[in-house]
């Protein structure tokens, strides 16, 4: 008799078979491995052995994160592929927790763009409308969850690469504090800003995966030894009295009208739960994207220097063009960005002295059409407008579905907290989902 975990795996594999020819979410499918691991989990359940909250959860992994025995392609040309002998720290922790890895999913090449229109593994598309992009760079993570191909996914976020696909695909995505989740065994974009985090339809599953992968790793030089507060303890706290800051300048400029309406509804909902909505001022926010970009692009160019200096290497044209901006940046550009970063982190710290969380849109509207996203640099700049701001400060941020356009496309809001404040954000997101049904809606199956 097939147990519940094996049944979930088979349902996910059926969804992949039915839809992935169109969506191109997966690069590698590990069906036999998933079936074997599911059988082991079901046997443990039958024997009455306790599993973690993530036990039995079927997960896809962004293909810049190593899973032993599965190729790591980074969404790149074959010359850059590796076959790791060891798990990334997060992959090993998922296995220990009893999660089931179903395979590796598509991404913008080398996690270096916001559209996931991948020239090597196919353009990933959005399950709510396959004419639209899933966002990026963790586009395959967002699409695989939204299309019912897995219960959760691990993505990575440098400037918005978890939060943007979460918003555009109608799922939840958590970017943890930098240093909270180890990056050991993942291919970097910018080590100072990179972090790995989970996506799923509901906050409770995101919390379970997050708690399985969070914690100090001495092998990661960015990792910080900081206690991980459980979401399960935080969620018992009342939302009443929580101070939520709303910076209406910049973050609410040029919004899709439906998103503006839904954000007002979110403010009202939190107020009805007893939270306090406070206006706040972040006058430097609109400048952050421009000053962070030289740091991020320079770090990426440094890592990929050999490929950039070889005109015959298989780097895609779009990411080569963008990385060359970093390659040509000066030391003065980097120093200028560092000074701006120091000032911005101080400003954010002062903000969190007066509020417990900040609430903004994640992106300004629904997923763009793929046809309108061919200019990758411009599309990525537009999509990361509200997410770079918080990456630059290294604070945690949670994107939560907040409704749909009148055309039925998902929209997302972003909850931001102080350093190490993930549990509080998850509690706020959970409270919102307890009062709404946006996370319960699903796209029509794509044939």
| Catalytic positions | 62, 137, 161
Residues 71 and 111: beta-carbon distance below 8 Å: no
Q: CA neighbours within 13 Å on the CB side: how many for 92?
A: 15
CA pair distance 142, 164, nearest whole angstrom? 9
In whole angstroms, what is the distance from residue 64 CA to residue 105 CA? Answer: 9
- Rounded-to-integer distance, Cα 73 and Cα 79, Å: 9
Contact of 396 with 406, CB cutoff 8 Å: no
433: closest CA among 128, 198, 205? 205
Q: Three-state SS string across the chain, please? A: CCCHHHHHHHHHHHHHHHHHHHHCCEEEECHHHHHHHHHHHHHHHHCCCCCCCCCCCEEEEECCECCCCCCECCCCCHHHCECCCCCCHHHHHHHHHCCEEEEEECCCHHHCCCCCEECCCEECCECCECCECCCCCCHHHHHHHHCCCCCEEEEEECCCCCHHHHHHHCCEEEECCCCCCCCCCECCCCCCCCEEEEEECCHHHHHHHHHHHCCCCCCCCCCCCCCCCCHHHHCCCCCCCCEEEECHHHHCCCCCHHHHHHHHHHHHHHHHCCCEEEECCCCCHHHHHHHHHHHHHHHHHHHCHHHHCCCCCCCCHHHHHHHHHHHCCCHHHHHHHHHHHHHHHHHHHHHCCCCCEEEEECCCCCCCEHHHHCCHHHHHHHHCCCCHHHHHHCCCEEEEEEEECCCCCEEEEEEECCCCCHHHHHHHHHHHHHHCCHHHCCCCCCC
49's CB contacts (< 8 A; 6+ apart) are: none
């Amino acid at each position: 008799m097939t147990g519940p975990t094996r049944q979930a795996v088979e349902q996910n594999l059926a969804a992949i078979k039915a839809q992935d020819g169109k969506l191109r979410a997966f690069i590698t499918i590990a069906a036999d491995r998933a079936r074997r691991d599911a059988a082991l989990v079901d046997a443990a359940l039958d024997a009455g052995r306790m599993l973690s909250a993530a036990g039995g959860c079927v997960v896809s992994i962004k293909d810049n994160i190593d899973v032993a025995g599965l190729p790591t392609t980074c969404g790149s040309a074959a010359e850059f592929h590796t076959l790791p002998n060891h798990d990334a720290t997060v992959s090993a922790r998922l296995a220990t927790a009893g999660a089931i890895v179903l395979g590796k999913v598509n991404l913008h090449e080398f996690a270096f763009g916001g559209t996931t229109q991948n020239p090597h593994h196919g353009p990933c598309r959005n399950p709510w409308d396959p004419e639209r992009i899933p966002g990026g760079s963790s586009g395959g993570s967002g699409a695989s969850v939204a299309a019912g191909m897995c219960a959760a996914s691990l993505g990575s976020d440098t400037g918005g690469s978890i939060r943007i696909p979460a918003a555009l695909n109608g799922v939840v995505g958590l970017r943890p504090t930098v240093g909270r989740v180890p990056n050991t065994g993942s291919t970097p974009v910018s080590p100072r800003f990179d972090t790995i985090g989970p996506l799923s339809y509901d906050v409770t599953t995101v919390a379970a995966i997050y708690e399985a992968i969070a914690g100090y790793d001495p092998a990661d030089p960015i990792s910080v030894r900081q206690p991980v507060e459980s979401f399960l303890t935080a969620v018992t706290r009342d939302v009443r009295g929580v101070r939520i800051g709303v910076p209406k300048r910049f973050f609410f400029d040029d919004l899709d009208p439906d998103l503006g309406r839904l954000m007002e509804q979110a403010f009202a909902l939190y107020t009805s739960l007893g939270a306090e909505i406070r206006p706040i001022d972040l006058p430097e926010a609109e400048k952050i994207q421009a000053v962070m970009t030289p740091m991020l692009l320079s770090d990426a160019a440094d890592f990929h220097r050999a490929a950039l200096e070889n005109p015959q290497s298989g780097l895609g044209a779009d990411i080569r063009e963008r990385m060359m901006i970093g390659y040509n940046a000066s030391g003065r550009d980097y120093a200028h960005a560092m000074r701006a970063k120091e000032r911005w982190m101080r400003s954010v710290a002062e903000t969190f002295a007066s509020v417990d969380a900040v609430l903004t849109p994640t992106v300004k509207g629904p997923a763009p059409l793929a046809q309108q996203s061919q200019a990758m640099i411009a599309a990525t700049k537009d999509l990361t407008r509200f997410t770079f701001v918080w990456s630059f400060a290294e604070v945690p941020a949670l994107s939560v579905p907040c409704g749909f356009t009148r055309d039925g496309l998902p929209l997302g809001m972003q909850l931001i907290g102080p350093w190490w404040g993930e549990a509080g954000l998850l509690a706020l997101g959970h409270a919102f989902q307890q009062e709404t049904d946006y996370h319960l809606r699903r796209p029509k199956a794509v044939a």
